[in-house]
């Protein structure tokens, strides 16, 4: 009697029990799709491959807590989205990583006349921030650059946390619109995650 192929739920049950073969099978089922998804978000194959590996390391390390009754695909993609979010938060504070991201994304949109170097991109970002209304720029700098808490900024500026949130949302929209005019996809994505 032929052996029935294992479905996703069966593989997850085996994975929770520590089966490396089930892990390898799940990896082969989802790694290609997940990599494509990560590349769309990050615009860098190198960083996407790293995050793909990180996602599956998290799956393996957390295998005993995975619920076989829930969608493994949704669980995996949620882990990947969290890793992307963390990645962009880190990139927002790491100038070397910012430059690599900008170079990677801009290489996909390169035209002879539109060949921006990362210094010019960073300058455009600074200009967009400087073009914010004074109070909004101050809130942005305190929250996003100095990494102060909403409560701390509320006390410093004597404004409510909801007003701070409103400033951040409007700053994000303004900066994204400014940068989209230059087709700077990497910076726009970076700003989205930085300001969200």
Mean of per-residue pLDDT scores for the chain: 77
Place of tokens 């004597």: 158
User: Domains along the chain?
Assistant: 8-93 (1.10.1740.10), 115-195 (1.10.10.10)
Place of tokens 């995975």: 66
What pLDDT does residue 26 have?
Answer: 92
Please state, in angstroms and rounded to a whole number, the distance separating the CA atoms of residues 176 and 141: 16
Mean pLDDT value of segment 48-65: 90
Q: Which residue has the higher pLDDT, 28 or 181?
A: 28
In this structure, what are the phi and psi dihedrals at residue 44, rounded to the nearest 5 degrees?
A: -145, 115
What pLDDT does residue 171 have?
Answer: 82
- Tokens representing 37 are 């998804």
DSSP 8-state assignment for residue 64: G
Please state, in angstroms and rounded to a whole number, the distance separating the CA atoms of residues 60 and 71: 16
Residue 133 DSSP SS3: coil
- Tokens representing 121 are 């991109």
pTM of the model: 0.51
Q: How many CB atoms lie within 10 A of CB 143?
A: 20
Q: Which residue has the higher pLDDT, 55 or 47?
A: 55
Please report how the helices 8-16 and 20-42 are oriented relative to each other, as an axis angle in degrees rounded to 10. Answer: 110
Percent of the chain with pLDDT over 70: 73
Please state, in angstroms and rounded to a whole number, the distance separating the CA atoms of residues 176 and 9: 41
Please state, in angstroms and rounded to a whole number, the distance separating the CA atoms of residues 178 and 188: 9
Q: What is the DSSP string of 16-74?
A: HTT-HHHHHHHHHHHHHHHHHHHHHHHS-HHHHHHHHHHHHHHHHHTGGG--TTS-HHH
Residue 158 DSSP SS3: coil
What pLDDT does residue 193 have?
Answer: 47
Please state, in angstroms and rounded to a whole number, the distance separating the CA atoms of residues 132 and 23: 49
**pLDDT tens, 127-174?**
888 889 999 989 888 877 777 788 888 899 999 887 887 887 788 778
pLDDT at 123 > cutoff 50: yes
Please state, in angstroms and rounded to a whole number, the distance separating the CA atoms of residues 30 and 28: 6
Q: Please, which pLDDT band fits residue 16 given cuts at 50, 70 and 90?
A: very high
> 101 near 39, Cβ under 8 Å?
no
What pLDDT does residue 114 have?
Answer: 41
pLDDT at 77 > cutoff 70: yes
What pLDDT does residue 182 have?
Answer: 54
Mean pLDDT value of segment 171-183: 69
């Amino acid at each position: 009697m032929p052996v029935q192929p294992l479905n996703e739920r069966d593989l997850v049950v085996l994975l929770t029990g520590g089966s490396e073969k089930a892990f390898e099978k799940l990896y082969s089922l989802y790694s290609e799709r997940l990599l494509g998804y990560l590349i769309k978000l990050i615009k860098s194959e190198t960083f996407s491959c790293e995050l793909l590996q990180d996602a599956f390391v998290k799956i393996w390390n957390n295998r005993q807590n995975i619920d076989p009754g829930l969608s493994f695909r949704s669980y995996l993609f949620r882990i990947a989205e969290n890793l992307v979010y963390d990645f962009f938060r880190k990139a927002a504070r790491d100038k070397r990583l910012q430059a690599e991201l900008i170079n990677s994304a801009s290489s996909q949109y390169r035209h002879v006349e539109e060949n921006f170097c990362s210094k010019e991109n960073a300058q455009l970002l600074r200009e967009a921030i400087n073009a914010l209304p004074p109070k909004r720029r101050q809130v942005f700098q305190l929250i996003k650059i100095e990494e102060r808490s909403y409560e701390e900024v509320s006390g410093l500026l004597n404004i409510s946390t909801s007003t701070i949130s409103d400033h951040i949302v409007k700053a994000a929209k303004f900066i994204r619109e400014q940068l989209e005019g230059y087709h700077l996809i990497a910076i726009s994505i970076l700003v989205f995650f930085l300001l969200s």
